[in-house]
A and B are shown apart, each in its own frame.
Chain A
Amino acid sequence: AQSVTQLGSHVSVSEGALVLLRCNYSSSVPPYLFWYVQYPNQGLQLLLKYTSAATLVKGINGFEAEFKKSETSFHLTKPSAHMSDAAEYFCAVSDVKTSYDKVIFGPGTSLSVIP
């Protein structure tokens, strides 16, 4: 069965510092991986996705993630944090061999940005 773990339920960084949010997955098939962001009282918004093309994936708002098969990881990074990056971040894995896109979400990491 597929699963996703996110190390650290809460991460704090200073404005301008590197953002690193960790995600590890388990999957019996080559995975499709996603990062979503959720701002307060909003739905989830797709940040970026890995679908077996380039291992380094660039997304919106300056975020990127690197797929490392040997480490079963898909960590999210941003070189310089901005106050507007404060939100909840969810890593997710998808099995597209089913008749629909069954997506398994991680528990989420809350990012705080300190001025």
Chain B
Amino acid sequence: DQQVKQNSPSLSVQEGRISILNCDYTNSMFDYFLWYKKYPAEGPTFLISISSIKDKNEDGRFTVFLNKSAKHLSLHIVPSQPGDSAVYFCAAIAGNNNDMRFGAGTRLTVKP
């Protein structure tokens, strides 16, 4: 079953605007969340993470928000740049058994 869901397969934004990528999860045992970025023909690269004891983590243009009650997290990219165009995966880890689950990804296209 899909414990981590990214319901939007694609997203298109204009350069300079905000990109918001969403992710929902069902397993309340997940306590660590990560976002990965993947370019075509390459493996995913780590972007940013957040622990369940926090509700926000910021790194430059990237901010991840966690809403535990809603079992929802989002990645904000401000301002968006054409080089951000890639597929973004969210992942969740349950600390009790280190079980890691990924969403299906959202393809972000940033138009110049």
B partners with A: no
